[in-house]
Structure 1
């Protein structure tokens, strides 16, 4: 058995990952079981540098899609400074990560002097939101409106900028922290919010209807960005609507809507070429995702499940599993878990052929590992068939 398992393991590099797949996928997703560990992000960076040689030109991470536009401007054209984009171009405090800073620095250096077709691109694919809080839709709505004002007949616009501004009101109404726990504190189902949802729908419909004209008015990049504004505005308004919902399905709707926004952004990025995606395993797996939130355990279809349904074999998912995070109380895994079996192998890192591992295990499936720390989600052995591969990292040390 141990020999069979060892035969499924290979040194971690992009070539080993690609050998697991029947063809180069349009979206190659690498998950992680915990956030905030630069050891895992350094590994992601190394794989991306190698994947660029395989034809991948875009990396996208679990960060605000609107803020990420500034990072992409910096790495492609040098707009701004590294310090500025690290401070303002990321959500979830990702900008403080040394590994993320190194990724952005390398991308800028790689692009220097290269033709546009060879440049690498950065994107966030998350919405401007957390699980239970969301930004005001002002930035996305007004940017979409401004784009259309400059390019289409004024009579076709469903409203003026002043109307949008009046309906949006103060941004702190949208970002009210108490709405996380108390739906009655959300403005998402107010009369103004309802009117804004209709106007956002009309603006996106106008953008779509005017596409033949709009592609003649400037770079295709400008139209793609306007579509991002439209997706974000509609998604945020929908999210706010359900934040105000007091029903038991509230959290299930919210986590599902977040991943739906992620999926739409991934599919749009995939239209311009192969994309390397990095996010939590739960956002990228094909099986249903779930999360313990106090007494609730909502289940939803992840962005990966939605993109896989749309792209079929052009979507690939490689999960990351790990042995220890001792500084978080995650010690040596029990030997009867997937992590325990892999931890017994001699090297520190492996790419595992998940299908061959499942075959080597036969009917004897390992038990699920239980994490003593809420911030780490162990690999679910029931998901072996869901993954195209597994990257295993034996030990995640504390990085100062």
Structure 2
């Protein structure tokens, strides 16, 4: 081993927002907190705690999580204005049901606390919620109908009808049955996709024209409605265009298909994060692989590994020091078969620390470890991704959690 506890003691800090902020060269507009696995409320509780501190101490007002950007509007409406009930929001405001986002006690507490915080506050001080993932599940992609028709409806109510590239009936005819778009067979069989049909091609052109019209009419629209309404319409536009692009490549049968699809997903994520950054500092939470600056990779099913540039890498290239990334690493998830890490790994070195949770100065840790890095930890469970020792210096910090109990 190239280092021991004595070598790294100066890199260890208490888990708190102030400690994280001291690691950063500047106050970021997007502070990204990654997680190495999904579905563990212990990690989401840490996220909630960090967000509360950022709100109270640093003036952060938005949290963005790895959930559907369209369904996230349901949560934002509840958090900002009390629309609906908490039960309804948890049922309809989160995607990825296989990950239990809507049934998570920690997510429920986040939404409840944000709504309580906002009660009675002026709009300028209210907390906001954003999903920044596309409407994409592991088995399928959503129909572009919701986003495309919402954009058309927004424009048709506010601009001269003669400027619109089509009618709502035309969109409905071209979209057809939504089941054609969401068929799970498409993920493994490109020939079942409608993404490269003549209708889909026409829809891509119409989506482009609608987005261009939205941009051209922005000076009128921002006064005719509101900045929030215009921002929401822009979300509709980039989601519709992104979904149509994604469906187009779902119909591709080339060897690059999966690499292109995972890259397109993170491009949609990046576009949403850049929009979030425009309205002020935000905490972003997602898997490490979507937020890291270095190239991401994963293996899906029995296919060869795919590599792509993550949303974090794309946003970092745009924002520079206004983007910060803090990875989360952990010791054990015993209920998943992930036992204590080997002492010759980064996680093993951190596991020997007395702290149950702490913030690590990643840059100083990389220096302490020297040129000869520890061996990568081999995950015994597919749902957990260990740190890559070669990329320690690419993160601004590490949150280490010793043990993850069953949620």
Give the shorter-chain TM-score range: over 0.9
Give the whole-Å Cα distance in 1 for the aligned partners of 2:126 and 2:92: 22
TM-score (norm 1): 0.99
Pairing 1:1-400 to 2, within 5 Å after superposition: 1-53=4-56, 54-93=58-97, 94-131=101-138, 133-293=140-300, 294-399=302-407
Q: Report the Cα offset of residue 4 of structure 1.
A: 2.4
Give the whole-Å Cα distance in 2 for the aligned partners of 1:116 and 1:216: 17
The residue matched to 1:15 in structure 2 has which SS? helix
CA-atom RMSD, angstroms? 0.7
Give the whole-Å Cα distance in 1 for the aligned partners of 2:299 and 2:141: 20
Deviations 1:264-287 (A, max 9, x none): 000001001001100000000000
The residue matched to 2:376 in structure 1 has which SS? coil
- Unaligned stretches of 5+ residues in structure 1: none
Q: Report the Cα offset of residue 363 of structure 1.
A: 2.2
Contact kept in structure 1, 2:329 and 2:387, CA below 8 Å: yes
Contact kept in structure 1, 2:139 and 2:184, CA below 8 Å: no
The residue matched to 2:233 in structure 1 has which SS? helix
Greater Cα offset, 178-187 or 293-302: 293-302
Contact kept in structure 1, 2:140 and 2:182, CA below 8 Å: yes
Q: Report the Cα offset of residue 2 of structure 1.
A: 2.1
Contact kept in structure 1, 2:118 and 2:126, CA below 8 Å: yes
Contact kept in structure 1, 2:114 and 2:127, CA below 8 Å: yes
Give the whole-Å Cα distance in 2 for the aligned partners of 1:227 and 1:2: 50
TM-score (norm 2): 0.97
Give the whole-Å Cα distance in 1 for the aligned partners of 2:25 and 2:187: 44
Q: Report the Cα offset of residue 369 of structure 1.
A: 0.3
Give the whole-Å Cα distance in 2 for the aligned partners of 1:128 and 1:273: 24
- Unaligned stretches of 5+ residues in structure 2: none
Number of residue pairs the alignment of both structures matches? 399
The residue matched to 1:216 in structure 2 has which SS? helix
The residue matched to 1:215 in structure 2 has which SS? helix
Q: Report the Cα offset of residue 22 of structure 1.
A: 1.5
The list of structure 1 runs, each at least 4 consecutive aligned residues, that deviate by more than 3 angstroms after superposition, is none
Give the whole-Å Cα distance in 2 for the aligned partners of 1:301 and 1:389: 20
Give the whole-Å Cα distance in 2 for the aligned partners of 1:226 and 1:243: 25
The residue matched to 1:376 in structure 2 has which SS? coil
Give the whole-Å Cα distance in 2 for the aligned partners of 1:20 and 1:77: 35
